[in-house]
Amino acid sequence: MKKIMNSEGANGLLLVSPTLLYAFLLLAVPIAAVVTFSFWTQNYLDLDTTFTLDNYRAATEEPIYRILLFRSLNISAIVTFVTVILAFPIAYYISFFVPQNKKARWIFLITVPFWTSYLLRIFLWKVILGYNGVLNSGLKGLGLIEQPLTFILYNMNAVVITLAHAWAPFAILPIYVVLEKIDRSLLVASYDLGESRIITFLRVTLPLAFPGIVAAAVIVFIPTIGDYVTPKLVGGPSGLMISNMIQLQFLKANNAPLGATLAILAMISVVLTLAILWLFGKFFGWINRNYLGILR
């Protein structure tokens, strides 16, 4: 028996090894290199390989980096919130209201817009939100506004709207998957026991869908912090994010070590934020179990 287990493990490892090797050489090693780089400095064209924390000092002390980092976190958090809140009803609708044989078609319908060129999709949001854009001329045509709205382009709002659009399917799909797994008889049982639809939703559906909501939030939150194109195209000066600065350091300022430091700080702050949220969730769960009992 032990021998079989061993050979199965060995077979599996052997089979996965090419892909693992690839991920190791082109992901794990490069990221380790980025970490190493962040402790070095660039001296014009030469790389100074003495260990130093100068980059971290610069990145945390100079206001521009701090502002960009906090703004990126802030934008990512808002985008995540907006995207997930908007995505949930859609996933709920597809899972609970669409007939079984039409579900695949609906999922396809949701994902189609995301196969338009990524760059052009963002550029088109610029066209939609602009001063003489589609939205403003449309609202003016309808007589709803006199002057074009200016708070929707070249600022954070534009970045949030565009990113909420760009990441929609990544939020809808994980939530849809968990909703599909919910045993419908649990809901029937709740109705039979006299609970209303709202209470059933709050106490049965929502808690069971929670893992999907968390997955959706994580899937949206982590990548959006590194978005480069959206802030560059629709963000204006007040909507620029940390990746614009990382790009600048790597490709224009020729200061790869500082760029590496900023990239690492961005990732660390994402992970820290998620860890804090996770702890907060645990804490809320504990309070709820012991004192409130709303979601029990």
**Binding positions for other proteins, 244-273, rule CB under 8 A:** 246-247, 250-251, 256, 259-260, 263, 266-267
CA pair distance 203, 196, nearest whole angstrom: 10
Among 84, 168, 179, 187, interactor with other proteins by CB under 8 A:
168
* Closest CB 70 distance from other proteins, rounded Å: 17
Torsion of CA 90, 96, 101, 105, to 10 degrees: 0
Closest distance between other proteins and the C-beta of residue 96, in Å? 9
Stretch that binds other proteins, among 49-57, 61-69, 128-136, 143-151 (CB under 8 A): 128-136
Q: How many CB atoms lie within 10 A of CB 140?
A: 15
Residue number, 64 or 85, with CB nearest to other proteins: 85
Burial 206-215 (b: 16+ CB within 10 A, else e): eebbeebbbb
Which is nearest to 246 in space by CA: 231, 229, 226, 232?
Answer: 226
- d(Cα 40, Cα 93) in Å, to the nearest integer? 52
Task: Kindly tell me which of 58 and 267 has the beta carbon lying closer to other proteins.
Answer: 267
Choose between 156 and 224: whose C-beta lies nearer to other proteins.
224
The distance of closest approach from Cβ of residue 156 to other proteins in the complex, given in angstroms and rounded to an integer, is 18
Closest CA to 176 of 80, 83, 295, 87: 87
CA separation (Å) from 156 to 117, 166, 235, 265? 22, 15, 6, 21
Rule CB under 8 A: which of 181-210 touch other proteins? 197
Kindly tell me which residue out of 49, 60, 137, 196 binds other proteins, with binding defined by CB under 8 A: 137
Q: How far is the CB of 291 from other proteins (least distance, A)?
A: 30
CB of 203 to other proteins, least distance (A): 17
For 16, other C-beta atoms within 10 Å of its C-beta total 11
Size of interface with other proteins, in residues (CB under 8 A): 84
Beta partners for residue 136, in sequence order: none
Q: Which of 41, 59, 133, 175 binds other proteins (CB under 8 A)?
A: 133
Q: Give yes or no for residue 132 binding other proteins (CB under 8 A).
A: yes
Residue type, 132: N
Radius of gyration of the chain (CA): 24
63-122 binders of other proteins (CB under 8 A): 86, 89-90, 92-93, 97, 103-104, 107-113, 115-121
Of 120 and 272, which CB lies nearer to other proteins in the complex structure?
Answer: 120
236 Rama class: left (phi>0) / alpha (psi -120 to 50) / beta: left
Interaction residues for other proteins, span 6-45 (CB under 8 A): 8-13, 15-20, 22-24, 26-31, 33-34, 37
